[in-house]
A and B are shown apart, each in its own frame.
Chain A
Amino acid sequence: DSGVTQTPKHLITATGQRVTLRCSPRSGDLSVYWYQQSLDQGLQFLIQYYNGEERAKGNILERFSAQQFPDLHSELNLSSLELGDSALYFCASSVDKGAEYGYTFGSGTRLTVV
């Protein structure tokens, strides 16, 4: 157990729908990072939050949004889902803003859009 908790582990939904993925960072970590990993692809950085504020943005679609709450858990909202959004979504957390000392990944949420 890495200490980073992601729920749900699996999600199956239809095209056009909206889903919310949840991440609880490791205790003491203030930064949360979201990644998308499509089948046989590398990890694509989506977005980072630090202590409730958006800190860095990667290749996140406009249909996707995220936020970090006062208790530091984060949610990734995916809307108007398309078949191509099917992927593993990982959350990672670090204690600092820049992950100078690395970060810890959760076990992911597997999203299947049918």
Chain B
Amino acid sequence: KNQVEQSPQSLIILEGKNCTLQCNYTVSPFSNLRWYKQDTGRGPVSLTIMTFSENTKSNGRYTATLDADTKQSSLHITASQLSDSASYICVVRPNTSGTYKYIFGTGTRLKVLA
């Protein structure tokens, strides 16, 4: 069964600290993996997208890594800011060309404290 699991479920850090969020998936065959940021009460916004052949992708202070062999991805946030407080969702797309099929993780809720 295709699944996407994220950990931790929630995380609290102090402003300025770094953190890493994890995503494990069992989706196969695999097309791409995305990380989304969702502010409370808002729609998700794409942070990064990686295909199976990519190992890392950065977007400012956000860096995503992918290990397709172990089916693991991580999102590293550097020098966190209060505005980073949000849910971070890992989304995996199976290799089903022309057909919509995305598998969503349940997200990690990050809280950055001053």
Contact = CB atoms under 8 A, between A and B. Distances in A.
Contacts of A97: 98-100
Given A42-B107, A102-B49, A2 B43 contact: yes
A110 B41 contact: yes
B46 A98 contact: no
Contact of A43 (B42, B89, B101): B89
B45 A105 contact: yes
Contacts of A88: 41
B87 to A, nearest CB: 9
Interface residues of A, number: 26
Contacts, number: 56
Contact of A99 (B43, B100, B104, B105): B100
A33 B100 contact: yes
A55 interface: yes
Nearest to A90: B43
Given A42-B106, A98-B100, A105-B45, 11 more contacts: A2-B43, A31-B100, A42-B89, A42-B104, A43-B44, A48-B100, A97-B99, A97-B100, A98-B97, A98-B101, A99-B102
Question: When A and B form their complex, which 7 residue pairs have the shortest distance between CB atoms, in order from nearest?
Answer: A105-B43, A42-B106, A56-B100, A98-B98, A98-B100, A107-B43, A98-B99
